[in-house]
Structures are given as structure tokens and as C-alpha cells.
Amino acid sequence: MVSFSQHRMLPFTHLPRLVVIHLVKNSVFWLNAFPATDGTSSTHLPCYLMTGYELNYKLHARLPFGSYVQTHEDHSNNMTQRTMGAICLGPSGNQQGGHWFISLSSGSRVVRHQWTELPMPAEAIQRVNDIGQQQHMPTKLTFRPLTKLLRQV
């Protein structure tokens, strides 16, 4: 259900495979960020029970899924690129507060710790749609219960 609502908020018509994968990962990440009422602990998060550390709002909730950013790249005093256009794929879950991004120039996944969030330009929307179309991704995502898929096999 979380994936469905996140997908509907995005301005893209063709989501690249990497975005779909991280859409589901991000949903699971945030579902595990809150204690379950019938879980083993009423105070500790499921992710704490598995990893040994708590999530930090200031580190892990800095940026919404699907946001457009310019990531800050390592550079020296030359003409190399200092920023890169990217779309946020969610927190990486590490203790430093890094986030996953899909690079708009290469279409690959990168993790960054510094960025500047900006309004989504039309060129970024078109680039994400182009990547999705190159991968022959559908315009509509359908999430089905696993039990229905298992019955078909």
C-alpha cells in the first residue's frame, strides 16, 4: 500500500527498474522504522533489533523519495563537474545518513551524503521517462499478493 501511494506522487510515466526496486525497498525500510504493536519489542524498532542501531530522523528522513537534487561531487580546483542531477531513491540506512540516488546522466545508482534539493525541472522528468522507456518499463505498476502468483505456477 505504501508503494502504491508513493508511486502515485511521482511525476514520471515510465519508472526505471532501479526506481521500482528502491520504491519497494524504501517502503519496507519505513515499515520497519516503527515498532509493531504485536512485535517482540514495543519500544525498539525492528531495524534496531536486526542491526543494533536506531534510526535518526535528522539523518534518515532528510529527503523524500523521488525528490530532484544536485548531489555534491568530489572535485578539485579544475573544470570537472561539481554537482550531478539525480533523483532520490531513499535513505541507504547507514549510520552516516547517506541516501541512494539514480544519476540522471548515467542512470546508475549512487550514494551521497551531501546534496541540494531543488524543484523538479521538466528535463529531469523527461530523462527519467527516457530511461524507463529504454528499459521497456510499463506505464502502470501493478502490485499483486504473492499468493496469487504462487497459485499460477
pTM of the model: 0.78
Predicted local distance difference test score (pLDDT) of residue 74: 76
Predicted local distance difference test score (pLDDT) of residue 1: 42
DSSP secondary structure letter of residue 71: E
Predicted local distance difference test score (pLDDT) of residue 118: 95
Predicted local distance difference test score (pLDDT) of residue 135: 94
CB 33 within 8 A of CB 104: no
User: Does residue 108 have a pLDDT over 60?
Assistant: yes
Element (H, E) at 99: strand 99-103
Nearest alpha-carbon partner for 62 in 27, 32, 88, 86: 88
Predicted local distance difference test score (pLDDT) of residue 137: 92
